[in-house]
A and B are shown apart, each in its own frame.
Chain A
């Protein structure tokens, strides 16, 4: 029995990968849903892979991971676009650095048509809203964009479909070892026995490692704040980067898969691994930096859809840490950028390490994938109509902005969604221009039916995040 602790993008893809080779895999996620911490609050970029020096895990896994995303998208049927990316230079020094990145690209295995240094005229033709002081860029057509939580959530469903288990609301607190077997203890008082453990606990990987008596690099949470802008003005066609620094890839301007635009992130250390608050200084910082890239960016109540913040699991090494511990445990830690891109490659690496250091592969099966991406089906009116004829709930629109139907909401609930946020992240209802103004009450109504009427049990996400206090007239 293999237990994976942590249901982010790395944990879910690793558990799924392991199911190709091993029968008993169980994933434990402390929150009510998978993919809801670092995985959901980042730029959603599948990086091309030129950023990283060839002798790092990051370099080893980013180009590779990028290439694995097409197959992954086919297996899990999630939305992905490949708008490409520019790293933009404003002076000769920066142009030099671009050439260095181009060398990384070559060293990391890029094909010739996957990266190119382009100059001002062509750059401004491709991206007319860029700062006219730009003198050139490193262009890569293979950079992609996704909704990252969608992948973790769909991977969770696939884990179950392929014989694995996913346990939610299970916060790992401690472990006992007896005769080569682990007994995992969770906050709710339950226990679980496992032969092997994969530590994919993201921000908390160092604390989990400690529970196993291992030391991994200490994790410092580094906050990144974002603006999400609406579709009204098409600011950029691809992902726009400034030159990267030692610390971060910088503040970006990029499109999202749904046609909106992300501005951000910044990178500021914070004290707490639970501090997701945005700040005035932070938002001002990203607005300022983003305008260096796109000078006429309008960030105001007419364009802002929302602001949010995410936390990176940063270590001093600034690279991934993937090692076996003293016992039968593999620790995966420090999965900051390009963690999302690298995740499928990390999963493969861990499965190989598992075979090499823990137990030989028992089998080699083809994973069962997910067919219906309801959102993709609705783009074809004939296919959508067919679904409605089989199931009328498919024709009842709940979220007007994103055309989410009652069937979508019920599907999310059937796959374990119990809170408003889970349904939102699963279906994207409430993610459109009206930010839930129209659909919130309808979703509440559906949940109310499913939760046999106890109003305060319907929550936004965790703990005591109740929505409605009581009835008006009893």
Chain B
């Protein structure tokens, strides 16, 4: 849809547009600008940083900066580098549509505007799955929050969501919130996890649950939420190996439910880009459209912010190469084929003669595994693999690829 020029319309032309100003986007924008290109970074919130702004705990940047930062510190250090490199940041602005003639439309308080670019980097992150998606029965009272929303209320808005809470999901976000709520005087009665193993890191189990005597109920799931207006109680049931309720139930007297039940890569509104549970990319962070690159949680959900920042920089490197001379980027691409033990595989495609860094998650915990990538002559044994920790495999030489690349994980005795 063409619009007519209207006075003070903001109509931008740039080399590289980056959509989403979280860790991946800031790193991408910084790198592209360092490479000498004009960069516009567009962000929907009133500040860049994404979830870093509300993740006030530490553990960020050990690899990317060589420091142990809290989320806000990581964001400020990276933002300074972004601004120093004269990236144009447009905040409080939402992308509406992407057009095939290398243009996006966005909206803000000044109106609806266009950005024309030569290459695009998508770093739109992930959103939380809502507990409504689990089809839990019972009432639908006030007092049910996703973990990220509760974190935002507490850390950014100074608002306490309740007094007695049950946490659903033992991923790192749930564990961090268990500690945060406890320190602020909310009684956390327990963490409920449907799998027989916890979803988050060992250190968070120790520092968020054990330190505060918060019980962790593995192989348990929420069966029913009860409350006329506000949450009054939650019925939790044990589950068997097929995740069916066994009938062994517990009742929790709580007024708050905080649910950390999964992250979903945010791929809207980019309909023309291939996605399947996240944008599909190759080892150049290129999507199915060769001028569109993607990095970070909008492709697959990563463990550490350090990884997404690195991916952002990689996407910017190749986007820069594309802008410099798109013909020089080789076109031949193969599929990456994960075997049945792999739950998450990244990237999903591979171009030969370019290095690759695989990130993968096993489907279930395994004591010892062997990973074989025959087409790349790779074979290695790893100790203890769990779904919550990504395995990284860096391979520089991919010149021998002649067919689709199988990545096989085997249980090793």
Contact = CB atoms under 8 A, between A and B. Distances in A.
Contacts of B157: 441, 444-445
Interface stretch (B146-154, B198-206, B212-220): B146-154
A397 B142 CA distance: 24
B229 A462 contact: yes
Interface in A441-474: 441, 444-445, 455, 459-473
B229 A463 contact: yes
A469 B129 CA distance: 24
A381 B105 contact: yes
A278 B138 contact: yes
A307 interface: yes
Interface string A16-60: 000000000000000000000000000000000000000000000
Interface in A317-375: none
Contacts of A380: 1
B355 interface: no
A282 B128 CA distance: 27
Given A395-B107, A470-B160, A385 B3 contact: yes
A47 to B, nearest CB: 27
A397 B43 CA distance: 12
B1 A381 contact: yes
Contact of A385 (B111, B133, B158): B111
Contacts of A81: none
A305 B133 contact: yes
A382 B4 contact: yes
A90 interface: no
Contacts of A126: none
Nearest to A278: B137
Contact of B111 (A388, A461, A466): A388
A141 interface: no
Nearest to B107: A395
A306 B132 contact: yes
Given A304-B135, A395-B107, A465-B229, A441 B153 contact: yes
Contacts of B264: 433
Interface in A185-229: 227
Nearest to B113: A385
Contact of A283 (B44, B92, B137, B142): B137
A468 B229 contact: no
A468 B159 contact: yes
Interface string A412-439: 0000000010000000000001111110
Contacts of A385: 3, 6, 111-112
B135 A227 contact: yes
A277 interface: yes
Interface string B30-54: 0000000000000010000000000
A472 B148 contact: no
A279 interface: yes
Contacts of A278: 137-138
Contacts of B272: none
Contacts of B132: 304-307, 435
A194 B384 CA distance: 77
Contact of A472 (B128, B139, B146, B154): B154
Contacts of A307: 132, 135-137
A279 B225 CA distance: 11
Contacts of A464: 229-230
B229 A384 contact: no
A469 B111 contact: no
B408 interface: no
A397 B141 CA distance: 26
Interface in A365-405: 380-382, 384-385, 388-389, 392-393, 395-397, 400-401, 403
B149 A397 contact: no
A388 B137 contact: no
Contacts of B146: 437
Given A278-B138, A471-B158, A441 B152 contact: yes
B51 to A, nearest CB: 12
A305 B110 CA distance: 33
A436 B142 CA distance: 12
B111 A437 contact: no
A455 to B, nearest CB: 7
Contact of B229 (A280, A435, A460): A460
Interface in B215-265: 223, 228-230, 261-262, 264
A168 to B, nearest CB: 17
A457 B178 CA distance: 26
A397 B160 contact: no
A181 B29 CA distance: 73
B335 interface: no
Nearest to B148: A437
B149 A437 contact: yes
B13 interface: no
Contact of A471 (B127, B134, B160, B162): B160
A302 B138 CA distance: 20
B94 interface: yes
B108 interface: yes
A434 B107 contact: no
Given A382-B3, A385-B6, A438 B160 contact: no
Residue from A434, A437, A473 having most chain B Cβ neighbours under 10 A: A437
Contacts of B154: 472
B302 to A, nearest CB: 19
A466 B230 contact: yes
Interface string B111-133: 11000000000000001111011
A381 B9 CA distance: 13
B139 A395 contact: no
Contacts of B158: 471-473
A301 B262 contact: yes
A424 to B, nearest CB: 12
Contacts of A381: 1, 3, 96, 105, 112
B148 A397 contact: no
Contacts of A455: 159
A308 interface: yes
A175 to B, nearest CB: 28
A237 interface: no
A279 B138 CA distance: 6
B193 to A, nearest CB: 15
B140 interface: yes
B44 A400 contact: yes
B144 to A, nearest CB: 10
Interface in A267-292: 276-280, 282-283
B100 interface: no
B383 interface: no
B328 interface: no
B312 interface: no
B109 A396 contact: yes
A445 B153 CA distance: 10
Contacts of A462: 229
Contacts of B160: 468-472
Contacts of B92: 396
A277 B109 contact: no
B278 interface: no
B163 interface: yes
B184 interface: yes
B161 A469 contact: yes
A131 interface: no
A461 B140 CA distance: 11
A129 interface: no
Contacts of B140: 276, 308
Interface in B153-199: 153-154, 157-163, 184
Given A301-B134, A301-B261, A385-B6, 14 more contacts: A282-B137, A301-B135, A381-B105, A388-B107, A389-B6, A395-B110, A436-B130, A460-B230, A461-B229, A464-B230, A465-B230, A468-B159, A471-B160, A473-B158
Shortest beta-carbon contacts, A-B, top 3:
A460-B142, A435-B130, A465-B229
12 contacts: A278-B137, A301-B129, A381-B3, A389-B111, A393-B109, A400-B94, A433-B268, A437-B127, A437-B130, A440-B149, A441-B153, A467-B143
